Amino acid sequence: MARWLAGDFCNQEQAWENPPFFAQIRVAYRPLPTQVLAGIGFYVEQAYSGHLEDPYRQAVVELRQTDSGVVIRNYRPLQPQRWRGCAREQVHRLSQLKVTDIAYLPGCDVHVRQQGSLFVGATEPGRKCCVVRKGQTTYLQTTLQLSETQLSSHDQGMDPTTHKQVWGAVAGAFRFRKITDWQLELPLL
């Protein structure tokens, strides 16, 4: 799974097919060059294709093997500006990243299992992954599917009272195709 996730992904085809519902997005899963966490780590940046220098989402994720599959643990950078651009242009700066630079997001783990030639996952049950967007508290529901060359993900912010969608794609999952492969940057697996 780590080898398939290591890379830069783009949803250009989807955005061109349905521009009213999907902006052209790039999401990068850059392997961390050092052992920051117990599992395999990635620095993540998500940005509009024309504005890669200004990501709207930055994260650190950790893959941990479990008896039932893989858990993706999510962390947020405490000083996001410090790491901006590290997924593509400033990769060398990631060697400075330490566990004290990130905060774990409880309730936001994604539990993944292998189904045939795919890895399929969803946010852990319990509606505990709280996200405040535009002043409104929501809980995050994430689903994902990963193949060797594609990543499909759907993030939805849900109202904790009505359980109706407040933010996120209304037309379904984003479908990304891997355009750059970084699996050779992974530690020996």
Please check whether the domain covering 2-180 is classified as CATH 2.40.128.590.
yes
- Geometric angle at alpha carbon 52, from 46 and 54, rounded to 5°: 80
Cα dihedral 114, 61, 52, 120 in deg (nearest 10): 20
The shares of helix, strand and coil residues in the chain, as percent rounded to the nearest 5, are 15, 50, 35
What is the chain's alpha carbon radius of gyration, rounded to the nearest angstrom? 16
User: Rounded to whole angstroms, how far apart are CA atoms 21 and 154?
Assistant: 13
pLDDT of residue 123: 96
List, for residues 23-42, the tens digit of each pLDDT value.
999 999 999 987 889 889 99
pLDDT of residue 70: 96
List, for residues 172-181, the tens digit of each pLDDT value.
999 999 999 9
Residue 138 confidence class, pLDDT cut points 50, 70, 90: very high
> Within a 10 A sphere around the Cβ of 188, how many other Cβ atoms?
3
List, for residues 53-84, the tens digit of each pLDDT value.
999 999 999 999 999 899 999 999 999 999 99
Burial of 90 (0-12, 13-18, 19+ CB in 10 A): exposed
- Geometric angle at alpha carbon 165, from 5 and 50, rounded to 5°: 50
Residue 189 confidence class, pLDDT cut points 50, 70, 90: low
- Provide φ and ψ at 142, rounded to 5°: -120, 140
